[in-house]
A = this chain, B = another copy of it.
Amino acid sequence: MCRWLAYYGDPIPIEALILRRQHSLIDQSLHSREGAETTNGDGFGVGWYDERGGMPGLYKSIQPAWNDRNLREISKHISSPLFFAHIRASSGTAVQETNAHPFRYGRWLFMHNGLVREYPRVRRDLLLAIDPALFPDIEGSSDSEVLFHLALTFGLEDDPLTALELMVGFVEEVGERHGVEHPLQMTVATSDGEQIIAARYSSERQSRSLYFSTDVRALKALHPDIEELQGLSDEARAIVSEPLGDVVGAWNKVPESSIGIVKPGQDELYEFTPRRPGGAPPPKERVSLRPN
Q: Which A residues fall within an 8 A CB radius of B?
A: 30, 38-39, 41-42, 48, 50, 57-64, 66-67, 69-70, 73-74, 76-78, 90, 93-98, 120-121, 123-124, 127-128, 132, 135-136, 138-141
Q: Which residue of B lies closest to A47 (CB)?
A: B73
Instruction: Please give, as numbers and ranges, the residues of chain B lying within 8 Å of A136 by CB-CB distance.
Output: 120-121, 123-124
Given the interface contacts A135-B124, A139-B141, does A39 sit within 8 Å of B39 by beta carbon?
A: yes
Instruction: Please give, as numbers and ranges, the residues of chain B lying within 8 Å of A76 by CB-CB distance.
Output: 57
For the A-B complex with A41-B66, A42-B67 known, give 13 more contacts whose Cβ atoms are closer than 8 Å. Answer: A39-B41, A41-B67, A48-B77, A57-B73, A57-B76, A59-B70, A69-B97, A74-B74, A94-B96, A94-B98, A120-B136, A124-B132, A139-B141
Q: Which of B61, B93, B120 contacts A70 (CB 8 A)?
A: B61
Instruction: Please give, as numbers and ranges, the residues of chain B lying within 8 Å of A60 by CB-CB distance.
Output: 69-70
Q: Which of B120, B124, B141 contacts A98 (CB 8 A)?
A: B141
Most buried by B among A39, A62, A123, A135: A39
Q: Which of B98, B127, B141 contacts A127 (CB 8 A)?
A: B127
Instruction: Please give, as numbers and ranges, the residues of chain B lying within 8 Å of A62 by CB-CB distance.
Output: 63, 67
Given the interface contacts A30-B39, A39-B30, does A94 sit within 8 Å of B139 by beta carbon?
A: yes
In the complex, are the beta carbons of A41 and B41 less than 8 A apart? Answer: yes
Count of this chain's copies in the oligomeric assembly: 4
**When chains A and B are docked, how far (Å) is the Cα of A132 from the Cα of B58?**
33
Instruction: Please give, as numbers and ranges, the residues of chain B lying within 8 Å of A121 by CB-CB distance.
Output: 136
A13 to chain B, nearest CB (A): 11
**When chains A and B are docked, how far (Å) is the Cα of A63 from the Cα of B136?**
25
Given the interface contacts A39-B39, A123-B136, A136-B123, does A77 sit within 8 Å of B98 by beta carbon?
A: no
In the complex, are the beta carbons of B97 and A97 less than 8 A apart? Answer: no
A108 to chain B, nearest CB (A): 16
In the complex, are the beta carbons of B93 and A96 less than 8 A apart? Answer: no
Instruction: Please give, as numbers and ranges, the residues of chain B lying within 8 Å of A61 by CB-CB distance.
Output: 70
**When chains A and B are docked, how far (Å) is the Cα of A98 from the Cα of B57?**
24
Instruction: Please give, as numbers and ranges, the residues of chain B lying within 8 Å of A120 by CB-CB distance.
Output: 135-136
Q: Which residue of B lies closest to A120 (CB)?
A: B136
Q: Which of B38, B59, B140 contacts A38 (CB 8 A)?
A: B38
**When chains A and B are docked, how far (Å) is the Cα of A39 from the Cα of B132?**
33
Most buried by B among A120, A124, A139: A124
Q: Which of B64, B77, B78, B138 contacts A64 (CB 8 A)?
A: B64
**When chains A and B are docked, how far (Å) is the Cα of A132 from the Cα of B60?**
31
Instruction: Please give, as numbers and ranges, the residues of chain B lying within 8 Å of A78 by CB-CB distance.
Output: 77-78
